[in-house]
Chain A
């Protein structure tokens, strides 16, 4: 599946809920969508045969944050990338767990490391850091702490 074919398939049903479909190395393309339409986009892309959710991640671009989903299709043996921008002050997006249950842990990791909340997530708990951990270590504003300082904070959360 080529990038233009991907856009021709998705555009009629989704309209302006996807902002662009662009070429991306080693994939069928990168679909950028509005975060309000997340579940619609997930269902449409899942219907194309992209049944395997490989990764969910987040990027801190300082002025905003980006959530991306990497999907794999066993039929066409291709990846596709979905991505959306969320403002840093209001970083939340709909959870992908109704469509791909494997998004569960990926979204927990993204939530605790990049501070992006996933709405209607079934079990949004800490995955890699201890419960109540107060830091989001993959944000660019995070500075390396002295061990003692971190220890005090990690113990008293």
Chain B
């Protein structure tokens, strides 16, 4: 284009083309043809703090209002990133759910390898007291907001190993659980159903 790079592209000044200026009846001498919109050209370093400030002000102003929250919930429930880890045989079904046949990624569910990038922990297998500390550490490393799905009977209540010497009888003893999926192991359809129910929960989230 012939527009000089230094000029803000949307700003209209008094130097309008004559044909444009001649149209309006309300046009007064010396006034621009359209209301003058001053748009600053910001560099990236300036833009990010400005946008952050504007967004922070907006959230502080709107707070828990009906305007902002549905947008966040919509974004959150359509891009659930579960932690990519496996504890026992439920992890096989977990892996199958992301294969070609069930393809959980069509719901925006993408397993990530770092807890820093996750907002969903799917506990897929038997949790022992030995691994309990690691599970809690991983959960605490995930940024808020975060959710937990207990997948299978072992994570729900200890399963067949409930009275064993080393098994945590239900992962809800360690971290808060949002959705329980029954089955030993649950089929991938059941896991997808659990994720969709979690999306329903997120849709109704108020705070």
Contact = CB atoms under 8 A, between A and B. Distances in A.
Given A151-B168, A151-B169, A151-B173, A145 B163 contact: yes
Contacts of B168: 151
B169 A137 contact: no
Contact of B163 (A129, A130, A144): A144
Interface in A99-152: 126, 128-130, 133, 135, 137, 142, 144-148, 150-151
Interface stretch (B72-80, B81-89, B126-134, B190-198): B126-134
Interface in B131-176: 132-133, 158, 162-169, 173
A154 B169 contact: no
The 7 closest A-B pairs by CB, nearest first: A147-B169, A137-B165, A130-B129, A144-B163, A154-B129, A130-B130, A147-B162
Interface residues of B, number: 14
Interface size class of A (residues with CB under 8 A): 10 to 19
12 contacts: A126-B130, A128-B166, A129-B130, A130-B129, A144-B163, A145-B165, A146-B163, A147-B162, A147-B163, A147-B167, A151-B168, A154-B129
Contacts of A145: 163, 165
Interface in A55-106: none
Nearest to B165: A137
A150 B132 contact: no
Interface-centre pick from A135, A145, A151 (highest chain B CB count, 10 A): A151
